[in-house]
Amino acid sequence: MANSKIEWTQKVWNPVTGCTKISAGCENCYAEKFAKRLAGRCGYDQENPFKITSHEDKIYEPAKWRKPKIVFVGSMGDIFHDDVPDHWIDAIMATAAIFPKHTFMFLTKRPKRMQEYFSRSKEEILKNWEDSIYQIGWADKDGDVDSTACFLYNYSQKHWPIPNIWLGVTVENQATANYRIPLLGETLAAKRFISVEPMLGNLFIGGYLSGYDIKWVICGGENGQGARPMHPDWVSSLLGQSHLLAIPFFFKGWGEWLYYNNSSAHKLGKKKSGRMIDGKEYLQYPKFK
């Protein structure tokens, strides 16, 4: 299990790692760089450390967290990548569902697959999740797998969609927002959220935020070598759109660059650029329960 340095979460859980670039926001992927540093270790392939990999040993991590946690699922990959088998997504979702004290946040740049996954009937989804519970051997404290499967069934009859499974999309510009957010809106979810990181352009998404019942907006600039600057006008606009609809706004920071007087950008590094917007921090969270 990992305590996270990602500002908006408490834990990261990576039963899947690896990805392939799909849009402009992927250009300087931090996860790919980190995977290369781990090549040959911790389950990362020596020759191709960022290939799609299912980590079966990681599936049990949520059982180790005694207190309720906000969990970012897939910080080192994309759970809904085409190369991730459906049965492994089933196992991940089933695990999240049987630990309702935690909130599991799923982010993807591939919302079409996510939408298709959750478009199946409730009965089919639950049957696959139940099968996963038996395959994994998710036993309760008395060692009874049947009890875990029974809990999932009974819980899902009262709570559907599963309330501690949140679904979100990452967008970086207007084009990706126009494609990904509507697909998120068509996806069955207890709660939906959006991460705008790295922010590479101005976004006008107020209609999406209200029309698709978005509960949270996260925003941040790009970090690391090759990072691109984020203009303060873009951030102010997104903040205004969120607050107009009373949607919590979490600002991670400006990234490597900071603008002076809105006119010129200077590369200061993440720590020096900070995360103040007009002298104020915006670290707002939605209600998780």
How confident is the model over 142-198, as pLDDT tens digits?
899 999 999 999 999 999 999 999 999 999 999 999 999 999 999 999 999 999 999
Q: Which two tokens stand for residue 65?
A: 């967290």
Average pLDDT in the 109-128 region? 98
pLDDT score recorded for residue 262: 74
The Cα-based distances of 222 to 37, 162, 176, 200, 286 in angstroms read 20, 32, 17, 9, 24
Q: Is the pLDDT of residue 35 over 50?
A: yes
Distance CA 277, CA 256 (A): 15
- Region 234-242 average pLDDT: 98
User: Do 192 and 214 meet the contact criterion of CB atoms below 8 Å apart?
Assistant: yes
Q: What is the mean pLDDT of residues 57-66?
A: 96
Q: How confident is the model at residue 73 (pLDDT cuts 50, 70, 90)?
A: very high
**Average pLDDT, integer, range 126-131:** 98
- Identity at 166, one-letter amino acid code: W
pTM, full prediction: 0.96
CB atoms within 10 A of CB 189: 23
What's the average model confidence in pLDDT over 32-57?
A: 95
Give the burial string for 55-74 (b: 16+ CB within 10 Å, else e): beebbebbeebeeebbbbbb
Tell me what the mean pLDDT of segment 205-216 comes to: 97
What is residue 24's predicted lDDT score, i.e. its pLDDT? 98
Cα separation of 267 and 71, whole Å? 31
